[in-house]
Amino acid sequence: MAQARTSRRYLKAFVSGFFVAVPVTVTALDRLAYVARVEGASMQPSLNPDGSDSDVVLLNRWSVRNSQVQRGDIVSVVSPRNPRQKIIKRVIGLEGDFIRTLGYKNRYVKVPDGHFWIEGDHHGHSLDSNSFGPVSVGLMHGRASHIIWPPHRWQRIDPSLPPNRGPLEMGEDDD
């Protein structure tokens, strides 16, 4: 008799704990932060420099809730070619920037409103804006803020543009 009562109590505690833990965890993963393993070589040497070990990054979802992003950030984006897949690339240009492309159908591109231009650091091994053009900011999923695995690669990711990749400065002509 006593055994049935205690097991029922444990079951009740488990079920009520479950209904607290699952929504809170799901909300935290959707709104605060997400952890993801980086696959592929398109962001070498920043991410996955070895090719044998995959980096695990912390994706900050809170900082992108208002679609705010700056040039040089590494962001995770829902792929415009495959909505089930997320790709992780670096933001090179924001709306209104002029970009000199690497292998896109147009040599120069003006990034339209509400879009941005993303590229992998490893040019030639990357499926990015140079293949499918500017990407809508609405597809942005999160900003990679830290590398958290493997332990010897633990570091904060700071926004930085690669050399020679960035918006073209529209300089004024000298008269």
Partner 1 sequence: MFFPQVKMFRGLLGKTLGFVGYTIQYGCIAHCAFEYIGEFVVCSGPSMEPTIVSHDIVFSERMSRHLCKIQKGDIVIAKSPYDPTMNICKRVIGLEGDRVSTRSDIFSSHTYVPKGHVWLEGDNLRNSTDSRSYGPIPYGLIRGRVCLKLWPAHTFGTLGENPNKQNVKSHKESD
CA–CA distance, 62 with 29 (Å, rounded to integer): 10
Q: Which of 42, 46, 76, 145 is catalytic?
A: 42
Only one of the segments 19-27, 35-43, 146-154, 158-166 lies at the binding site for partner 1 (rule: CB under 8 A); that segment is 19-27
- The catalytic residue among 46, 54, 76, 89 is 89
- Least distance in Å: CB of 162 to partner 1? 25
**53 lies in the binding site for partner 1 (CB under 8 A):** no
- In angstroms, what is the minimal distance from the CB of 135 to partner 1? 8
Q: Helix/strand/coil (H, E, C) string of 40-66?
A: CCCCCCCCCCCCCCCCEEEEECCCCCC
- Is 126 catalytic? The answer is no
Segment interacting with partner 1, rule: CB under 8 A, options 50-58, 130-138, 156-164, 166-174: 130-138
Phi first, then psi: give them for residue 12, nearest 5 degrees.
Answer: -65, -40
Site for partner 1 in 68-87 (CB under 8 A): 78-84
Q: Letter for the amino acid at 14?
A: F
Nearest approach in angstroms of CB 89 to partner 1 is: 15
Of 59, 78, 47, 38, which is closest to residue 145 (Cα–Cα)? Answer: 59
Q: Give the C-alpha separation, 3 to 13, whole Å.
A: 15
Give yes or no: 89 in active site: yes
Residues between 25 and 44 with contacts to partner 1, criterion CB under 8 A: 26-28, 30-31
Q: How far is the CB of 70 from partner 1 (least distance, A)?
A: 15
* Catalytically annotated residues: 42, 89
Which stretches of the chain bind partner 1, using CB under 8 A? 20, 22-24, 26-28, 30-31, 66-67, 78-84, 112-115, 135-140
